[in-house]
Amino acid sequence: MGDARRALALVRKDLLTERRSKAAFNAMAFFAAMVLFIFSFALGPDAPGMAAGSGQTLLQYLWPGLLWVAIFFTGILALSRSFQVEMESGGMEALRLYPGDKKAIYAGKLAANLIILGAMELILIPVSAILYNIDLIDKLPALLGVVALGSLGFAAVGTFYAALTANLRARDVMLPVLLFPVLVPVIVAAVKATTLVVRGDLMGELWTWIRILGLIDLVLLTVCTLTFEFAIEE
């Protein structure tokens, strides 16, 4: 009970801090916009998608993959910011000195990161759909479900590694180096499921992939929950 309150207090504190400083969000919004433009320049806005065939542009064809690349790269900013706030106030030791289970800290940080990530995605998805001319309206519920599951996997591992690297001098280098290999299953399943949502699910595979994604989330979440208290030691 006390631990649930602690986790909630941490979420509220993080969101309040973020709402006032907007340090992570501004950087993320700017970065996400740049990524969308860079994709467009790199792949050519009108280049036809050869594999797609049916009058799609390359950008439209690749959108599921591009979306997740943008989410992961942008999300890194939120993760490192999340623990930067703690370092500025005196490090993780403040949180560790409070009584109670340290899993509450993980839960709180994870939830706050997920919410910030979600806010960014709610902008990223429609903006990229508009920029690349993709019709998503009727696919929205399934898409949001897949995005939520993929983001959960990302945030679960990301929060863990951000805590682990928070007091390293080279944290900006080490976070992606350690995080991305572990995220491979998440990105594979998330991109696959998103593709099925967007391009249509001819063979009825979508549900299988959603379950695979959920299973991956569950395993990663369990491992990270069990080991988090050691990650914030020093």
Partner 1 sequence: MTADKFGKICGIAALVLLAVGLATGMLVAPRERIMGDVYRIMFVHFPSWVGTAAGYLTAFVASIAYIKTRDFKWDYWGQAGAEVGLLFNVTGLITGALWGRPTWGVYWTWDPRLTTTAIMAITFAGYLVLRAFMEDPESRARAASLVAIVGFVNVPIVYFSVRWWRTLHQVQSSPETVDPQMVWPLRAMMLAFLLLGVFMMTRRVMLARLRGEEEMEMVRLEVARD
Partner 2 sequence: MNHRAQAAGSDTGRRVVVEAREVSKRYARNWALKAVDLRVEGGELVSLLGPNGSGKSTLLRVLTGVTRPTYGSVELFGAPPKTSNGKRQHLGVLPPQSYLYGELTALENLNFAAVMYGLKSHDDELVEALAHVGLEQAADRQVRTFSSGMRKRLALARATLHDPELVLLDEPYGALDVEGIGWVDAFVGELREAGKTLVIATHEIGRALALCDRAVSLRGGRVVYDGPTSSYEGAVSGATDSVRMEAKR
- CA-CA distance, 98 to 13, in Å (whole number)? 15
For residue 37, state whether it binds partner 2 (rule: CB under 8 A).
Answer: no
Residue entry with tokens 């945030």: 155
Give SS3 for 57: strand
Nearer to partner 1, 124 or 157 (CB): 157
Which member of 46, 88, 138, 234 binds partner 1 (CB under 8 A)?
Answer: 234
CA angle 176, 116, 80 (to 5 degrees): 30
Q: Which range touches partner 1 (CB under 8 A), out of 31-39, 43-51, 126-134, 219-227?
A: 219-227
Question: Is the Cβ–Cβ distance between 100 and 3 less than 8 Å?
Answer: yes
Looking at residue 198, what DSSP letter applies? Answer: H
For residue 160, state whether it binds partner 1 (rule: CB under 8 A).
Answer: yes
- CA-CA distance, 130 to 124, in Å (whole number)? 10
Which member of 48, 49, 65, 91 binds partner 2 (CB under 8 A)?
Answer: 91
Nearer to partner 2, 95 or 179 (CB): 95
For residue 87, state whether it binds partner 1 (rule: CB under 8 A).
Answer: no
CB hemisphere CA count around 218 (13 angstroms): 6
The interface partner of residue 20, options being partner 2, partner 1, none and the CB cut-off 5 to 8 Å by kind, is: partner 2
CA distances from 60 to 77, 103, 129 (A): 26, 41, 9
Q: Which residues lie near partner 1 (CB under 8 A)?
A: 157, 160, 164-165, 168-170, 173-174, 177-178, 180-182, 184-185, 188-189, 192, 212, 216, 219-220, 223-224, 227, 230-231, 233-234
Q: Which residues lie near partner 2 (CB under 8 A)?
A: 2, 5-6, 8-10, 12-13, 16-17, 20-21, 85, 88-91, 93-101, 233-234
